[in-house]
Amino acid sequence: MERGEEPTFPAFPYKPYSIQIDFMKALYQALNKGGVAMLESPTGTGKTLSIICSALQWIIDRKEQMKSEIKSKSDRNQRSEDDSVCDDEPDWMKDFVIEKIDSDTVKKKSDKGKLGFRNSNKKNLKNSCRDLLRKSEKEEDDDDERLDGEKNVKRKEDNVELGEEEEFLVEEYESEEEGKTKRKAGGNCVSSSSDEANENEFEDEEEEEEELKVYFCSRTHSQLSQFIKELKKTVFASKLKVVCLGSRKNFCINKDVLKLGSSSQINERCLELQKNKKTNVVSKAKRSGGKLHRIKGSSGCPMLRKHKLQKQFGTELSQQGALDIEDLVNLGKKIGTCPYYGSRSVIPTASLVVLPYQSLLMKSSRQSLGVNLKNSVIIIDEAHNLADSLTSMYDSKITFLQLKEVQSHLKLYFERFRNLLGAGNRRYIQTLMVLAQAFLRALLDDTNPCPNSGKQSDQNSMFSSSMAINDFLFSLNIDNINLVKLRHYIKESNIIHKVSGYGGKLIGAQKDSVLDDGGNNGARGSILSGFQALVGILDSLTNNDGDGRIIISKRTFNCSGEQGFLKYVMLAGEKIFSEIVDQTHAVVLAGGTLQPVAETRERLFPWLCPEQLFFFSCGHIVPPQSILPIAVSRGPAGTSFDFSYTSRSSLSMMEELGRLLCNLVVVVPEGIVVFFPSFEYEGKVHDAWKSSGILQRIMKKKLVFREPRSSIDVEHVLREYKETIVSISGVDSREVPVQHSGAILLAVVGGKISEGINFSDGMGRCVVMVGLPYASPSDIELIERVKHIEGLGNSNTSRTALVDNEPYNADVFQAGFEVLRNCKRRGREYYENLCMKAVNQSIGRVIRHSNDYAAILLVDARYASDPANRSFSHPTNKLPEWIKSRFVSATQNYGEVHKLLHQFFKVNKNREFQQKVECKITSDHGICE
């Protein structure tokens, strides 16, 4: 596309709405400009398809433009070279110039091959390196036999018989020269299995890196699958090379590994198998006398034994076009090779990489995947809570029980192998023991006075405090320990896996069980998770002092600490995000509701002036008459709705809410979704309705379903809810009691249903928001975040009122409330914005396409107000514009609400009947159902 021309989007598979065209143009403009952009489009407006057709069109246009520029430059150079040869020069001179040009071209290609390791000399280089390695290994094997003989003599002198325990002996470590390891009996020099940075042997070495890339990321794997589904509607699915990334747990097809269950154990086992492969299947050894006999060990994961199958996986992926995670798993099973590593190998040559938040936003994950962000385009969907999501990825936590277990196993390991460990290993293992003991002391220390001072405290109450990193280290007298060197030792020596393996073996022996290679996986995995938690805390303590806070939580009375924990809470997201922005051409944050923009800018890119930020927001595709948002301030009995923390648990308030639902089930057709502030409160209300008989009255008209706490069971509940709605609509032939007019789903704000589930058409004709779901002030992490945000942009001296190391009182709720009350602007706004973002996410679940319609009831007197007297911080001012423009902010009584609902559904039912023939418009415009 020529500069100045209006962009077109021929790949859009249907006739787009005007707001979709505006959105695509805005995104295209943002990519041309580069930098940071925020694009807002309400849920249900076909945002995903608009992103695909705009961003990928830009990639294609940009590549064509670059080809054109290169061709023009080449033509100019050719003409310049031709002009340098005069017509009256002899033929041999002309031939010399032409030969020189050809020679230079060949030389450039050759140089390019050398720089990229793409030329034929590469194989020779690899063979030479392989010969050197063989020679080195032979020399080391000779040294091993000599050292092993010496060590055996020493063992006999010390009367030490290692036997099978030899595999748990850590390699010698040169403490004066960090990073250098030597071979020791029973082991090979390998890095920690937690370090994935060097896992590139499965990459296709012959393929060149694609220069322009789009990285699209979202929060969940289901959202990524939805993206691929939309992509398949366009020509880009076959026109561009696309790869979808995911976790090992989602991709693994090795049944023995997959049955471990937890993500951490699957990751560790997978990496351990790769280590076994790299040891050239001679990692195990048998000794007879002083001689060493090599025997075959594990050859790695059976899904990665044939490199040619990995290449075949990449080839078929390219031929089949865009595949989601399920498709990739099926392809891996069909070929018999690992889809996790197979998909990774395609990254360098792909134009579009689809991946989860963590894989892109965490630096360690990017490095392990080999993701190169240079000059790329990043699109982050569902970015409404990006700042909190980003910082939470860098949080770390270790419990009292984990610390006790780590300390115990370190002590057992050290006592068993002490006489066989080198000086460096002994020093670092002792340092780990000192740190574990210091952290335990922090949770057991009872020098802090109990808040009740002289009164007998509740055994289950918690005593919590927060500290800066340096203060925490000084308080435990461990500030002289070099945590960077210690972390390097853990990574290079593989110590946590050695100790975990030995601990797992001891536990298995105590149970008198005969264990094979995987028999102690459960015990080992449990021990390993504790060590990984310790490593996470050590990593966190290497951050800058002001980047986060350490939270210390323990018992207040008996100080036994069983429920205690240490947690590092990352607060400074701007430094993390700046690394991403600095490398890329453009970063686009997309979402249904991104307001308030100022807060996001201050927390993620404060260096960016407001005028430098590209922001675009569009309206909704639904006509105004298709939504009815109402503030419901009073119930049918005239009781004023007050669901604040102190009032919501009163029996009268819960029963009045029940009477409201009894009336709604009469006037609202099909499905009603009710959102509560928490699972705990939903349970209280349900019990109150059940005991008062209100629940039975509701169920005479609609069946009642409840969101389960376990996300695994959510799908089952949703399926039953949907089947009930469908059967009422007459689509299903199953018999349903005639008196039921639909169903009610009781859900929770912040749960799975409020975040990623869509309730189109009859699934959600009415959504009821109970109260304002403010986060509890007793959440210490939240309060620390509020204090940090309140101080953004201020000097350190002005933050002292909020940032301190004082412990929170026994009444943590009151302590948090005091912090909120002392906030002047930013911290308070952040707290209010958290609440309204949650409201907007929940109520946005019910309008999904142009012909959809629904009522939105905000049930609390705090939602109602006189628009003329409404302040900026009023909750309804934070509603999306497409809802706010139709909002009924005040009603005299419930009778008025009931009348509005009756008229609304009567009009829309008639309109739905008249337009039933045109129901295909939903799919014709690519709107997500």
Neighbours of 586 (CB within 10 A): 23
What pLDDT was estimated at residue 522? Answer: 58
Q: Which two tokens stand for residue 481?
A: 């320990």
pLDDT band with cut points at 50, 70 and 90 for residue 516:
very low
700 & 766 share domain: yes
753 & 859 share domain: yes
pLDDT top residue among 92 and 606: 606
Element (H, E) at 214: strand 214-218
Domain assignment of residue 520, yes or no: no
- pLDDT tens digits for 399-410? 999 999 999 999
Q: Which two tokens stand for residue 419?
A: 């006489």
530 & 547 share domain: yes
Residue 282 · residue 297 · CB < 8 Å? yes
640 & 752 share domain: yes
pLDDT > 70 in the chain, percent: 73
* pLDDT for 473 beyond 80: yes
pLDDT band with cut points at 50, 70 and 90 for residue 541:
very high
Tell me the mean pLDDT in the region 261-266: 82
763 & 864 share domain: yes
562 & 439 share domain: yes
We report the CATH number of the domain holding residue 723 as 3.40.50.300
Total domains, the chain:
3
What pLDDT was estimated at residue 321? Answer: 85
- pLDDT tens digits for 571-609? 999 999 999 999 999 999 999 888 888 889 999 999 988
pLDDT > 90 in the chain, percent: 47
Domain assignment of residue 701, yes or no: yes
- pLDDT tens digits for 680-736? 999 999 999 999 999 999 999 999 999 999 878 898 999 999 999 988 775 443 444
547 & 681 share domain: no
Domain assignment of residue 796, yes or no: no
pLDDT band with cut points at 50, 70 and 90 for residue 83:
low
Residue 297 · residue 285 · CB < 8 Å? no
Q: What is the pTM of this model?
A: 0.80
* pLDDT for 749 beyond 80: yes
530 & 477 share domain: yes
Domain assignment of residue 505, yes or no: yes
pLDDT band with cut points at 50, 70 and 90 for residue 920:
low
C-alpha to C-alpha distance for 488 and 473, rounded to whole angstroms: 19
Tell me the mean pLDDT in the region 534-552: 95
565 & 597 share domain: no
Q: Is the Cα dihedral 90, 94, 99, 104 positive or negative?
A: positive
* pLDDT for 557 beyond 90: no
Domain assignment of residue 345, yes or no: no
Domain extent, residue 420, equals 396-444+463-509+525-573
Domain assignment of residue 440, yes or no: yes
pLDDT band with cut points at 50, 70 and 90 for residue 190:
very low
What pLDDT was estimated at residue 272? Answer: 78
What pLDDT was estimated at residue 285? Answer: 43
Tell me the mean pLDDT in the region 273-292: 50
C-alpha to C-alpha distance for 836 and 595, rounded to whole angstroms: 10
* pLDDT for 191 beyond 60: no
- pLDDT tens digits for 871-902? 557 888 889 888 988 999 888 899 999 999 99
Q: What is the DSSP letter of 808?
A: B
Domain assignment of residue 35, yes or no: yes
Phi and psi at residue 627, in whole multiples of 5°? -130, 150
Tell me the mean pLDDT in the region 461-483: 90
Kindly report which listed range (59-63, 118-122, 308-312, 368-372) carries the lowest average pLDDT score.
Answer: 118-122
C-alpha to C-alpha distance for 633 and 685, rounded to whole angstroms: 18
Tell me the mean pLDDT in the region 551-556: 79
745 & 664 share domain: yes
Q: Which two tokens stand for residue 383?
A: 């970015």
The residues, any chain, with a CB within 8 Å of residue 788's CB and separated by 6 or more, are 549, 571, 572, 803
User: Counting Cβ atoms within 10 Å, is residue 793 exposed (0-12), middle (13-18) or buried (19+)?
Assistant: exposed
pLDDT band with cut points at 50, 70 and 90 for residue 442:
very high
* pLDDT for 825 beyond 90: no
Q: Which two tokens stand for residue 788?
A: 């940090």
600 & 724 share domain: no
Domain assignment of residue 880, yes or no: yes
* pLDDT for 641 beyond 90: yes
* pLDDT for 818 beyond 50: yes
473 & 530 share domain: yes
